[in-house]
Structure 1
Amino acid sequence: MRVAVEPGVCLNVRHREGAGRPYLFVHGLSSNALLWEGVAEHLPNPSWAIDLRSHGESDAPDKGYDTATAAADLVAVIAELALDQPVVVGQSWGGNIVVQLAAKHPELVGGIGLVDGGWIDLAAAFASWEECERALRPSEIDGLPASRLRQWMANAHPDWSAAAVEATLANMRLRPDGTVERRLPIDKHMLIVRSMWDEPPAQFLPLITAPALLLPAMGPQEEKASRVTSAAELIRRSRIVWYPDGDHDLHAQHPAQLASDLATLAG
């Protein structure tokens, strides 16, 4: 379905029927709602998965490519769909978006799930914006054959299902000649990265009142795990479930296990 978040801007939302507290799924940077299908099908609850601006099948306006606007878009989606305190789950940048939503609008959220995101602080990870920009600028892939990308993803992620590989391929638009182009252009991608630099989540974490489940793709003994535990300590009601063998896209790699963990938030 299409949901208007402001005049002239509609976002695509995928829906699954069910019973109980609703779930709202938020993808990461340069991803799309399809990647949540594997998780949603393992939940008995109704769920909605959103394509953010210039992602998936959503509109691609000229503005609004920052974390705060994405959080405001979620507010509009929750209101338009009349969702009653949903469990809002975000992956990677989507986790940072969910943190802002839960901090600014605690009355709208019944629980939050942070899937390898929600604690991402680029300013703490890089010495300067210029270093961050060089490291995180995506490569040029427009014009590559879709078949080559499909094979590369299948080889890189042998434990993903074929559906998860195809969902990832949907991050790109397929051209008539069989090549692909980015749905989210690099300039807009970097506007979002800049907003992540400017809007670290630590300032919002203490304002969260809903139960929070942190699901990092790492073990508790890894060096970067301290960022996760520090984030959890700032949230009033939080719990961590570690995925020591996980990759960044846990929803593609371990959909059933992730659904089982997220189900605890709807109790």
Structure 2
Amino acid sequence: MEIVDFQITKNISIKGFSLIRSNNDRLLLFVHGLASNSTLFLPLANKLFKLGYSSIGIDLRGHGNSSKPSNGYTLETFSEDISIIIRRHLKVKPIFIGQSMGANLGVMLAKEKKPIIQGCICIDGGFINLKNKFPNWKECEKQLTPPNLDHLQLPKLKELIEINHSDWPNLSIQGTLNNWKIFNNLKIKKKLSIKKHLLLLKSLWNQEPNNINQLNVSTLLINSTIKQNFENLPSNTKMINLEGDHDIHAQKPDLISKIINDEISKGFFR
């Protein structure tokens, strides 16, 4: 694994990881969800690397090890950041793999008239529509504002994560811990501030990505906690419903890697 660093502007860089196989044009681009980071995809990326795939995972702005500017916390800005990375730095069109909010970003790219991605895989997301769940923004904000855990120390935080995700592999537990900055005295601080979290949540609230017929690339929906209700799926779209956590890619990387490899091998993303 190598660290990647993509310059977006003079003052903003997007960092992440790469697992690159030589002479391989099958590139997967992993994009995480709200308040997460790229390393939560490492268990899945490692499995897919063994199956012959190259991978790049990025930390969206404000997340992980990427720059944390004071502005730009909208889905539109995030989508533009990703577009810059693909156009400037990647040699081939990747298959986009996003989870939750990251999947919604993938759908935005999949709807472009001239797509810069080969295909889109949405893990428990892609068509998240918060206006269908909450009558107004204030209620959404009230229900979905995350708890502030920064008063905890690392051992207690790790204990809580392990209790809530007892069936997760160790690498996924570590990936979750990477959402916090850990100080030498074991104090912690969330890398994405609650203020910026809510700016992104508001942007997600303002989005209504309901029209699945606007997709211009083959798209695979892998659902776990979010059940999509589409009457008719277009021919370039497939949906698989599973039982598992919202971060099912971190919980069950063996299963998700098999599904992804099977669909790619069958030529779904031609």
Q: TM-score, normalised by structure 2?
A: 0.90
Instruction: For residue 220 of structure 2, give the secondary structure of its aligned residue in structure 1.
Output: strand
* Alignment partner, residue 179 of structure 2: 171
Q: Is the 8 A contact 1:26 1:91 kept in 2?
A: yes
In structure 2, which of residues 116, 120, 133 is the aligned counterpart of residue 125 of structure 1?
133
How is 1:38-57 mapped onto 2 (pairs within 5 angstroms)? 38-43=43-48, 44-57=52-65
The farther-off stretch of 66-75 and 233-242 is 233-242
Instruction: For residue 210 of structure 2, give the secondary structure of its aligned residue in structure 1.
Output: helix
Relative to structure 1, the CA distance from residue 234 to residue 240 in structure 2 (aligned partners, 3 Å threshold; closer, same or farther) is closer
Q: Is the 8 A contact 1:112 1:265 kept in 2?
A: no
1:132 maps to a residue whose letter is C
Q: Is the 8 A contact 2:102 2:125 kept in 1?
A: yes
In structure 2, which of residues 212, 224, 229 is the aligned counterpart of residue 217 of structure 1?
224
Mapped partners of 2:16, 2:153: distance in 1: 28
In structure 1, which of residues 4, 9, 12 is the aligned counterpart of residue 7 of structure 2?
4
Mapped partners of 2:105, 2:68: distance in 1: 18
Mapped partners of 1:215, 1:181: distance in 2: 32
Q: Is the 8 A contact 1:14 1:33 kept in 2?
A: yes
* Alignment partner, residue 238 of structure 1: 237
Q: Is the 8 A contact 2:112 2:216 kept in 1?
A: no
* Alignment partner, residue 81 of structure 2: 73
* Structure 1 gaps, min length 5: 219-223
1:36 maps to a residue whose letter is F
Instruction: For residue 69 of structure 2, give the secondary structure of its aligned residue in structure 1.
Output: coil
* Alignment partner, residue 159 of structure 2: 151
* Alignment partner, residue 202 of structure 1: 210
2:219 maps to a residue whose letter is A
1:217 maps to a residue whose letter is S
In structure 2, which of residues 95, 99, 121 is the aligned counterpart of residue 87 of structure 1?
95
Mapped partners of 2:224, 2:66: distance in 1: 28
The farther-off stretch of 144-153 and 105-114 is 105-114
Mapped partners of 1:155, 1:194: distance in 2: 30
* Alignment partner, residue 265 of structure 1: 264
Cα deviation, residue 25, structure 1: 0.3
Instruction: For residue 203 of structure 2, give the secondary structure of its aligned residue in structure 1.
Output: helix
Relative to structure 1, the CA distance from residue 42 to residue 4 in structure 2 (aligned partners, 3 Å threshold; closer, same or farther) is same
Relative to structure 1, the CA distance from residue 143 to residue 96 in structure 2 (aligned partners, 3 Å threshold; closer, same or farther) is same
How is 1:19-30 mapped onto 2 (pairs within 5 angstroms)? 19-30=24-35
1:29 maps to a residue whose letter is L
Relative to structure 1, the CA distance from residue 34 to residue 130 in structure 2 (aligned partners, 3 Å threshold; closer, same or farther) is same
* Alignment partner, residue 221 of structure 1: none
Instruction: For residue 15 of structure 1, give the secondary structure of its aligned residue in structure 2.
Output: strand
Mapped partners of 1:86, 1:229: distance in 2: 27
Cα deviation, residue 63, structure 1: 1.0
Mapped partners of 1:30, 1:265: distance in 2: 29
Cα deviation, residue 34, structure 1: 0.3
2:156 maps to a residue whose letter is R
* Structure 2 gaps, min length 5: none
Relative to structure 1, the CA distance from residue 23 to residue 105 in structure 2 (aligned partners, 3 Å threshold; closer, same or farther) is farther
Cα deviation, residue 262, structure 1: 1.6
The alignment covers a number of residue pairs equal to 257
Q: TM-score, normalised by structure 1?
A: 0.91
Cα deviation, residue 3, structure 1: 0.2
Summarize deviations over 1:37-90 as a string: whole Å, max 9, x none: 111111121110000011110000111111111111110111222241210010
Instruction: For residue 107 of structure 1, give the secondary structure of its aligned residue in structure 2.
Output: coil
1:41 maps to a residue whose letter is N
Q: Is the 8 A contact 1:216 1:242 kept in 2?
A: yes
* Greater percentage in helix: 1
Q: Is the 8 A contact 1:212 1:235 kept in 2?
A: no
